[in-house]
Amino acid sequence: MTDEIAERKMQFLYTLRSRGVTDMRTLTAMEKIDRGAFVRGIFADRAYDDTPLPINCGQTISQPSVVGLMTQALNVQPRDKVLEVGTGSGYQAAVLSQLARRIYTIDRHAPLVQAAREVFDALDLNNITAIVGDGSHGLGDQAPFDRIIVTAAAEDPPGPLLAQLKIGGIMVLPVGQSDTVQSLIRVRRTETGLEYDELSPVRFVPLVEGLAKD
Ligand code: SAH
């Protein structure tokens, strides 16, 4: 590793820690998965900045510290089956792939799913299945899930996703009435119902119903 790469990696991890990502398993996963592999074109040289960046189809790759906070809140266990709604670049799914048994990730934009599959193959991440579809209905044939993460914002947690969460399961997602004011929340399914807690303010692209026409 050149000094420059080592320095950049240290700075990246330092920034994550300073923004509240303290869980060691999450930090180790984020150290291993190179965000640079998921950012293309003119923004590639900003891959290690703690900022969201534009990707294809008018979407964004999330800010690394938000990826870290969501991963940490999800408290993924090694045997878990995880559903991610909103593949985007594939970066969040790749980070999760280091922590869980199997990741299903779904996006309504086929070109994004295709590009993400290519990166997963190149990095030998064999426990991720990327699917083109409307994730607001979840993924019935693989349900129920130990963990669900939604990386696009809805007004409320979608009912079908809550229904596909196991007892003892955790879902992390942004919710909000507008594009500008959203909160990251965590939902736990217990024996008797659902428990909610609010984590932090965030800003995500909206969860849109139906397949995209590309
Ligand atoms: N997790 C991504 C960032 C996601 S951006 C990453 O790590 O890069 C949000 C993504 O959610 C976009 O790609 C958008 O196409 C997708 N999305 C929005 N509504 C959706 C829906 N109903 N079903 C599946 N994907 C959806």
Which runs of consecutive H residues, i.e. helices, occur in the chain? 3-18, 24-32, 64-74, 91-97, 110-122, 159-163
Cα-to-centroid distance, 153 and ligand 1 (Å): 9
Give the pair of three-digit tokens for residue 182.
């959203």
Looking at residue 3, its pLDDT comes to 86
What's the pLDDT tens digit per position in 3-15? 888 898 899 999 9
Helices and strands of the chain, counted as H and E runs:
6, 9
Would you place residue 1 in the very low, low, confident or very high pLDDT band (cuts 50, 70, 90)? low
Cα-to-centroid distance, 108 and ligand 1 (Å): 7
Q: How far apart are CA 201 and CA 133, in angstroms?
A: 28
Q: How far apart are CA 9 and CA 177, in angstroms?
A: 36
Cα-to-centroid distance, 105 and ligand 1 (Å): 9
Q: Whose alpha carbon is nearest atom 14 of ligand 1?
A: 86
Asked if residue 92 is part of any domain, the answer here is yes
- The tally of domains found in the chain comes to 1
Pairing of strands 182-189, 165-175: antiparallel
Asked if residue 60 is part of any domain, the answer here is yes
Looking at residue 42, its pLDDT comes to 87
Looking at residue 180, its pLDDT comes to 80
Asked if residue 214 is part of any domain, the answer here is no
Average pLDDT over residues 9-30: 97
Q: Which residues are 102's β-sheet partners?
A: 81
DSSP classification of residue 153: B
Higher pLDDT, 151 or 180: 151
Q: How far apart are CA 76 and CA 67, in angstroms?
A: 13
Asked if residue 15 is part of any domain, the answer here is yes
Q: How far apart are CA 178 and CA 160, in angstroms?
A: 22
Q: Which residues are 82's β-sheet partners?
A: 103, 147
Which strands sit side by side in the sheet containing 81-85, from one edge to the other?
Answer: 128-132, 102-107, 81-85, 145-150, 165-175, 182-189, 194-202
Cα-to-centroid distance, 113 and ligand 1 (Å): 10
Domain encompassing residue 26: 3-202
What is the CB < 6 Å shell around ligand 1? 59-62, 85-86, 88-89, 91-92, 106-109, 112, 134-136, 151-152, 205, 207-209
Which atom number of ligand 1 is nearest to the Cα of residue 67?
7
136 is catalytic: no
Point out the least confidently predicted range of 28-37, 155-164, 170-179: 170-179
Q: How far apart are CA 172 and CA 187, in angstroms?
A: 6
Average pLDDT over residues 132-160: 97
Looking at residue 181, its pLDDT comes to 85
Looking at residue 55, its pLDDT comes to 94
Ligand 1 probe mutation, 208, 209, 213, 214, most atoms within 8 A of CB: 208
- Domain of residue 196, CATH code: 3.40.50.150
Asked if residue 212 is part of any domain, the answer here is no
Asked if residue 40 is part of any domain, the answer here is yes
Residue 178 has pLDDT above 80, yes or no: no
Ligand 1 probe mutation, 87, 91, 109, 172, most atoms within 8 A of CB: 87
What's the pLDDT tens digit per position in 105-132? 999 999 999 999 999 999 999 999 999 9
Diameter over CA atoms, the chain: 53
Catalytic residue among 62, 65, 89, 97, which? Answer: 62
What percentage of the chain carries pLDDT values higher than 70? 100
Average pLDDT over residues 87-94: 98
